């Protein structure tokens, strides 16, 4: 039973990487009304550090605690990279999370000890550590017409 508790605890901690991004507070109060249409941007997310071409990538774009889009992206077998492009985004604050879904089941998988067996990453490339990054580490401003961000995946041995 002790091993089962450890598995659930580790799974919960690492799953918070994605849940925490969903809980980011909005930077705009409900009383504020937009005064003019916002400029639009194109965000290119380039994923590197992929260990193999098995499966696909799941790229999740978040803004103000809301999932804006989830894309399934093929892995380039020659360069072991992937890329997602999000067009016509209002300028503002965003975050991105990525998983290398090797078995294509739509989720990050864990071993019996609660360690992730697939790669994952987030915008701004927070350092590898036990547990998810602080959501503040993953947010970035989208202020220009064309923005490219690179996410290097993290794998545990």
The pTM of this model reads 0.77
Residue 157's pLDDT band, with cuts at 50, 70 and 90, is: confident
Minimal CA–CA distance to 133: which of 41, 40, 14? 14
Residue 32 lies in a domain: no
Residue 7 lies in a domain: yes
Residue 101 lies in a domain: yes
Residue 30 lies in a domain: no
Residue 33 lies in a domain: no
- Report whether pLDDT(5) > 70: no
On whether the CB atoms of residues 60 and 97 are closer than 8 A, the answer is yes
Minimal CA–CA distance to 84: which of 24, 155, 149, 18? 149
Residue 114 lies in a domain: yes
> CA-to-CA distance for 96 and 18, rounded, in angstroms?
9
- Report whether pLDDT(88) > 90: yes
Residue 53 lies in a domain: yes
| CATH code of the domain containing 13 | 2.60.40.10
Q: What is the mean pLDDT of residues 92-113?
A: 96
Radius of gyration of the chain from Cα atoms? Answer: 17
Strands 40-48 and 56-63, how do they pair? unpaired
- Report whether pLDDT(14) > 60: no
On whether the CB atoms of residues 17 and 121 are closer than 8 A, the answer is no
> CA-to-CA distance for 18 and 45, rounded, in angstroms?
17
Q: What is the mean pLDDT of residues 1-23?
A: 42
Give the count of domains, the chain: 1
Domain that includes residue 116, residue range? 2-24+38-152
Structure tokens given for 108: 């990050």
Residue 94 lies in a domain: yes
- Tens of pLDDT along 62-83? 998 799 999 999 999 999 999 9
On whether the CB atoms of residues 146 and 38 are closer than 8 A, the answer is no
On whether the CB atoms of residues 27 and 130 are closer than 8 A, the answer is no
Better-scored residue on pLDDT, 28 or 43:
43
């Amino acid at each position: 039973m002790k091993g089962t508790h450890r598995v659930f605890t580790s799974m919960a901690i690492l799953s918070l990487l994605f849940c925490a991004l969903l809980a980011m507070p909005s930077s705009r109060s409900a009383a504020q009304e937009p005064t003019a249409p916002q400029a639009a941007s194109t965000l290119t997310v380039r994923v590197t550090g992929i260990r193999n071409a098995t499966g696909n990538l799941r790229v999740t774009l978040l803004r103000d605690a809301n999932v804006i889009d989830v894309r399934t992206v093929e892995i380039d077998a020659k360069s072991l990279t992937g890329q997602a492009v999000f067009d016509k985004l209002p300028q503002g604050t965003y975050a991105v999370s990525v998983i290398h879904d090797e078995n294509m089941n739509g989720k990050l998988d864990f071993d019996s000890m609660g360690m992730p067996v697939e790669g994952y990453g987030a915008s701004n490339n927070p350092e590898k550590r036990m547990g998810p990054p602080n959501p503040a580490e993953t947010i970035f401003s989208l202020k220009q017409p064309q923005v490219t961000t690179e996410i290097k995946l993290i794998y545990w041995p």
